[in-house]
Structure 1
Amino acid sequence: MSRTLIEQNPDLRFADIDVRQLAHRAGRTPFFAYDRSAIDARIRKLRAMLPSGMHLHYSIKANPMPAVVHYLATRVDGFDVASAAEMALALNAGTAPTEIGFAGPGKSRDDLRRAVASGINIHAESATQLRLLTALGWELGVQPNVAIRVNPDFHVGHSGMRMGGGAAPFGVDVDQMPALLRELETREIALAGFHVFWGSQCLHAPTVIQAQRQSAELIAQLSDGLRTLPRFVNLGGGFGIPYFPGEAPLDLEAVCEAMHEWLPPLHEKLPGTKAILELGRYLVGEAGIYVCRVIDHKVSAGRTFLITDGGLHHHLAASGNFGQVLRRNFPVVLGNRPDDAPRQRCHVVGCLCTPLDRLADDVELPEAHIGDFVVVSQSGAYGRSASPIHFLSHPEPVEMLV
């Protein structure tokens, strides 16, 4: 693991684990391993710094491995899901339906029917979804719990992916909200809450602070005149983790200090309304590694290539094909010789028949041998589940919670 990242995150223990022992447990390479102690350390730190009135949800899409979800079920206050399968994961982990939120712009009728029947909070993202939920409530003889996802009318910078502001498939535009809320109050639907998600993978504390403050103000305005106040307000997350050289961790202390300022006025405006922080990558991203094995070592036109049994079909994000405009390397080491001094510049590539299958370009590593373990850190989120696992029909990677 990158020493810079170890120094920034002293609670991570993978630097002290013998990768060969992990490989023995996995039975083969490639594999993902997720560290319970690192997840716990991140949650403890958040709990210590967040205001007492802030509830913590885990966004399952970051890492839906069932063992991870079940482990987190006893450590967070609820889950946010983006599919019927994720909803089933959350319910099977023992989470109360009222602590599960279902977001996504393209929910099918079957997805919504199952969600209404389960009693979870459904985040409606259009008038069409609201009307379909009304019909399903009549069909099933229950009153759906509906939150409205709001497409905010403010823009934020410094985020890896903008999820709101301007034209977007996500949520209902602010200027359309009054009409939708009037329509909702004429239907037999319980307004569970509001959901604002402004962006993701943000390392810039002032941006997070501004977005959260503006989200709280927006929800307070939208709640004016409602006959029934929302039960909860999901203020999204957006907290990023450092992946690349030059990136510093998010200043969590500054973000939480600001929460202590803007959260009390929100509670005064909306007494009894629960505030939710929805985090995924920030809880599990730094708690995972991806390990593959060097199966060939070759020189071509003066350049050294380490060819592994892994690749982008397992870890698309590390290859640069999950949103990087300019490809940069995730932290990579030789796991069985992490303390050896770098002696060669090389390219670490996968086993697929495409030049896009790159795990690291032009990196300095110890001189590698066939059989060495290549370890890619920062791999706990958007790894296996966000990758084209079946591309070229190679074996799937193992996953372990250790």
Structure 2
Amino acid sequence: MQAKKPEHAPQTQFASLDNCLLVGGIPLTRLVHRAGGTPLYVYDKTLLTARMQLLKSLVPVDLRINYSLKANPMPALVGHMAAQVDGFDVASSAEMQTALATVIQPEYISFSGPGKSDAELLQAIAAGVMVHVESLNELRRLDRIAGEHGYPTEVMLRINPDFDLKSSGLRMAGGPKQFGIDVEQIPRILEELDGMYVECVGFHFYTGSQNLNAKAINDMFTKTCELAISLANLPIGSKRQWVRRINLGGGFGIPYFPGDVALDINVVAAHLQDAVVRLKTVIPDVVVEIELGRYLVGEAGIYVTKVIDKKISRGQTFLVTDGGMNHHLAASGNLGQVIRKNYPVLVGNKINKDADQLATVVGPLCSPLDLLADNMFLAHAEVGDLIVVFQSGAYGASASPMNFLSRSPVAEVLI
């Protein structure tokens, strides 16, 4: 089936000058030269800052916004985000070390995810990082480690509720899950906590990700607040007022594909105003948090790869580039797409040329899955031209099989 010719170039957050994309005010061709060539990820810190400023102008002033490093753990980017956000969420020892090297205080770094080793738990409590406990067994191990080493330790319980986030790219709650503690098990957990060395101070919820539906997100926040309030009314022994922190999760998405409509952040932010008021009315002095990853960084990054060969095979044009799915698995469709769709792609040094060449962009790997753009109208590209994949600031380099076929790793720069 032949691709439909686009009426205009994909909408992006980036400017252009003449025929060349600008990143941080620098022409792409000059930037690639300065970086030592392609393949290359480039992140624009002005766009990162602008996204955070917009969000903070809309949400309640006393709502803490945490950045989830799993979206993009590049140290320079994390260091920049540390000045923009209120906390970090990490999911590994390496991410924890990156977060601890910033100005964010350890108590506002949370460690989530199933399968934390004893060594990781010890590292977290020694540093004062907040562990989000995912199971009863993990809680028992953490309590034993804290008691053996004499570390005063506060934790939060990650809850697997009996609902999920509808319309999500990935649903992470609502049924049998490896994430969090089933909500029906919480009374038993609280009974056991009464005799433990560790102290529980609140709850963490995360029900889904990559969601563009404001109503679905708001419904999730409403259910999460009501559940948090009901759980907070359960005592730990004689303690009736013990909840001090609630993380409502996030799941805000960004548009990737034709037909995607950007999340109406104004509608979500207005609902968050009501949610925070509701929580603080029932649980005075509670700290309310959300955590976001791709929404904060996804649209501020691009992947750049150079055309090294152009060939025609039985009437179809192939642009062969020096990087592919080994650097950008998500754009190839192999990070969760059931039906593969093209990310926004342009010829970065021919930005204003007519997109009238039907072409398929493939990487250098010996695999038919190494595909960056399938049967897509682009400007006429030749060997040496630069292919740009937009919406690449999240789940790019760190989420890709970098060692596949022993190809060279990709460079990353923050401009």
Instruction: Describe how 1:254-269 pairs up with structure 2 within 5 A.
Output: 254-269=267-282
Say whether residues 1:61 and 2:70 are aligned partners. yes
1:33-71 deviations in Å (ceiling 9; x for gaps): 000000001000000000122101000010000001111
Alignment partner of 1:6 is 2:43: no
Q: Partner of 2:259 in structure 1? A: 246
Aligned residue among 92, 102, 111 for 1:93:
102
* CA–CA distance in structure 2, aligned partners of residues 50 and 172 of structure 1: 29
Any residues of structure 2 matched to 1:114-263 within 5 Å, and which? 114-226=123-235, 227=239, 228-263=241-276
Matched-pair contact (CA < 8 Å) for 2:24–2:45: no
The residue type paired with residue 413 of structure 2 is: M
The answer (yes or no) to whether the contact 1:313–1:389 under 8 Å persists in 2 is yes
Check the 8 A contact 1:134/1:188 in 2, yes or no. Answer: yes
- Between the aligned residues of both structures, percent identity stands at 47
Is the 1:244–1:331 Cα contact (8 Å) retained in structure 2?
yes
Shift of 1:259: 1.2
Three-state SS of the structure 2 residue aligned to 1:5 is: coil
Contact 1:146 1:190 in 2 (8 A): yes
Structure 2 residue runs without a partner (length 5+): 1-7
Q: Mean alpha-carbon deviation: is it higher for 346-355 or for 189-198?
A: 189-198
Instruction: Please state how far the C-alpha of 1:155 moved relative to its aligned partner.
Output: 2.9
Distance 1:217 1:143 in 2: 30
Question: How is 1:288-299 mapped onto 2 (pairs within 5 angstroms)?
Answer: 288-299=301-312
1:171 alignment partner AA: G
Shift of 1:156: 3.0
* Structure 1 runs of 4+ with >4 Å offset: 9-13
Is residue 2:351 matched to residue 1:338? yes
- Mapping 1:288-327, distance limit 5 Å: 288-327=301-340
SS in 2 for 1:6: coil
| 2:60 counterpart residue number | 51
How do residues 356-367 of structure 1 correspond to structure 2 at under 5 angstroms?
356-367=369-380
Q: What's the offset of the Cα at 1:77?
A: 0.5
Secondary structure of 2:295 counterpart:
helix
Q: CA deviation at 1:17?
A: 4.4
CA distance in 1, matches of 2:140, 2:350: 59
Task: Give 1:94 shift.
Answer: 2.6
| Distance (whole Å) between structure 1 residues aligned to residue 271 and residue 121 of structure 2 | 36
| Structure 1 counterpart of 2:293 | 280
Distance 2:194 2:386 in 1: 59
Q: Structure 2 CA distance, aligned partners of 1:369 and 1:225? A: 66
Deviation at 1:4, TM superposition (A): 4.4
Cα distance, 1:18 vs structure 2: 1.7
**Aligned partners of 1:200 and 1:238 also within 8 Å:** yes
Once residues 202 and 36 of structure 2 are traced to their aligned partners in structure 1, the CA distance between those partners, rounded to angstroms, is: 46
Normalised to the residue count of structure 1, the TM-score between the two structures is 0.97
- Give the secondary-structure state (helix, strand or coil) at the position aligned to 2:249: coil
SS of the equivalent of 1:236 reads strand
Once the 2 structures are TM-superposed, how far is the Cα of residue 118 of structure 1 from its aligned partner? 1.0
- CA shift, 1:3, in A, is 4.2
Contact 1:13–1:38 (Cα < 8 Å) also in 2 = no
Note if contact 2:10-2:345 (Cα within 8 Å) is conserved in structure 1: no
Please give the secondary structure, in 2, of the residue aligned with 1:107. Answer: coil
Contact 2:24–2:44 (8 Å) recurs in 1? no
Q: CA RMSD in A?
A: 1.6
Aligned-partner Cα distance in 1 for 2:166–2:278: 25
Q: 3-state SS of the aligned residue for 2:210?
A: strand
Which has the larger displacement, 89-98 or 281-290? 89-98
C-alpha deviation, 1:19, in angstroms = 1.2
Q: TM-score, normalised by structure 2?
A: 0.94
Aligned residues: 400
SS at match of 1:48: helix
CA contact (8 A) 1:121 1:192 kept: no
- Note if 1:397 corresponds to 2:410: yes
| Alignment deviations for residues 211-255 of structure 1 (CA, whole Å, 9 cap, x no partner) | 111111111100103324222111111000000000011000000
Structure 2 residue aligned with 1:379: 392
8 Å contact from structure 1 (residues 30, 398) kept in 2: yes
Contact 2:330 2:396 in 1 (8 A): yes
Distance in 2 between the 1:242 and 1:13 partners?
Answer: 21
**Deviation string, structure 1 residues 112-141 (Cα, Å, up to 9, x no partner):** 111111111101110101100111111111
Separation in 1 of the partners of 2:151 and 2:228?
A: 27
1:80 and 1:278 in contact (8 A); partners too: yes
Compute the displacement of 1:13 (Å): 6.2
Could you tell me whether the CA contact under 8 Å between 1:317 and 1:383 is conserved in 2? Answer: yes
Cα gap change, 1:191/1:13 in structure 2, threshold over 3 Å: closer, same or farther? farther
* Alignment partners' CA distance in 2, 1:290 and 1:375: 6
**Alpha-carbon distance in 2 for matches of 1:54, 1:229:** 20
The question of whether the paired residues in 2 share the 8 Å contact of 1:6 and 1:15 is answered with no
